[in-house]
Amino acid sequence: MSLRIVVCVKYVPDATGDRHFAEDLTVDRDDVDGLLSELDEYAVEQALQIKEAADDAEITVLTVGPEDASDALRKALSMGADKGVHVEDDDLHGTDALGTSLVLAKAIEKTGYDLVVCGMASTDGSMGVLPALLAERLNVPQVTQLSAVSVENGVVKGRRDGDTASEQLEASLPAVVSVTDQSGEARYPSFKGIMAAKKKPVETLDLEDLEIEADEVGLEGAWTKVEDAAERPARTAGTVVKDEGEGGKQLAEYLAGQKFI
């Protein structure tokens, strides 16, 4: 039987750009180019490796986001995923983590799945909670923050490297997995992959398709409210000295002045 893998990928503003908030205190997406969250490339890579090790597997990449979020799906498809699902609806604007997890969970159930693979965190909200939220909503095991992962005979195994210990984890499918950037470099799409991606099917769903009411998501339905967003004042220019033999001493002098020594 075919192993159905769903990879959740997020479309985010480029972290190297000048990211801002819009007037309604949601992320300003017009100012900065968007792209597939770099940490989700690791999720796509691990899904591809799991597929390559399986007899028969199919990878669906799933995103919840505005029209441009299809770019994130194309990137994942060009890396080798088989098909895409894009949940897009004007009423989704301003959705928070609880809302996003609700939409993702419904879309995953509709698509059908044995394994859900996520990144460790997005590069914008960077909460790192979506995989746990999904496991709770789908009522399946969470096998998260893995630096190594494999699937064999309906069992997912992984290594979770924590602060105090490294743990070996195991769960039966269906399950939700998230992988860290230690799991292995993501492959670059080949020219052939990029051309093939253009022909791969992408299904677009809206809230009605998922039987979600508009007031359960979006800014209005959000469980959290951002009341203020202020740009951090630029740091006042510090002292920079050139080492001409005394650099270490001068620095010690400064640290002593600040009472660090």
Partner 1 sequence: MAEVLVYVDHVDGAVRKPTLELLTLARRIGEPVAVHLGAGADTAAPVLAEHGAVKVLTADAPEFTEYLVAPKVDALQAAYEAVSPAAVLLPSSVEGKEIAARLAVRIGSGIITDAVDLEAGDEGPVATQSVFAASFTTKSRVSKGTPVITVKPNSAAPEAAPAAGTVEQLAVTVADSSKGTKIVSRTPRESTGRPELTEAAIVVSGGRGVNGAENFPLIEALADSLGAAVGASRAAVDAGWYPHTNQVGQTGKSVSPQLYIAAGISGAIQHRAGMQTSKTIVAINKDAEAPIFDLVDYGVVGDLFDVVPALTEEVKSRKG
Ligand X SMILES: Cc1cc2nc3c(=O)[nH]c(=O)nc-3n(C[C@H](O)[C@H](O)[C@H](O)COP(=O)(O)OP(=O)(O)OC[C@H]3O[C@@H](n4cnc5c(N)ncnc54)[C@H](O)[C@@H]3O)c2cc1C
Residues 213-252 that bind partner 1 (CB under 8 A): 222-232, 235, 238-243, 245, 247-252
What single DSSP character describes residue 68? G
Q: How far is the CB of 166 from partner 1 (least distance, A)?
A: 5
| Residue from the set 22, 25, 32, 97 that interacts with ligand X by CB under 6 A | 97
Query: Any contact of residue 142 with partner 1 (CB under 8 A)?
Result: yes
What amino acid is encoded at 11 in this protein? Y
Other beta carbons less than 10 A from residue 106's beta carbon: 19
Query: Any contact of residue 145 with ligand X (CB under 6 A)?
Result: no
Give CA 148 to chain center in angstroms.
Answer: 17
- The item of ligand X, partner 1, none sharing an interface with residue 248, based on CB under 5 to 8 Å by kind, is partner 1
Stretch that binds partner 1, among 46-54, 78-86, 116-124, 198-206 (CB under 8 A): 116-124
Phi first, then psi: give them for residue 236, nearest 5 degrees: -65, 140
Other beta carbons less than 10 A from residue 178's beta carbon: 31
CA distances from 93 to 20, 68, 185, 209 (A): 16, 13, 32, 17
Q: How far apart are CA 46 and CA 48, in angstroms?
A: 5
Query: Any contact of residue 95 with ligand X (CB under 6 A)?
Result: yes
Query: Any contact of residue 10 with ligand X (CB under 6 A)?
Result: yes
Query: Any contact of residue 179 with partner 1 (CB under 8 A)?
Result: no
Query: Any contact of residue 146 with partner 1 (CB under 8 A)?
Result: no
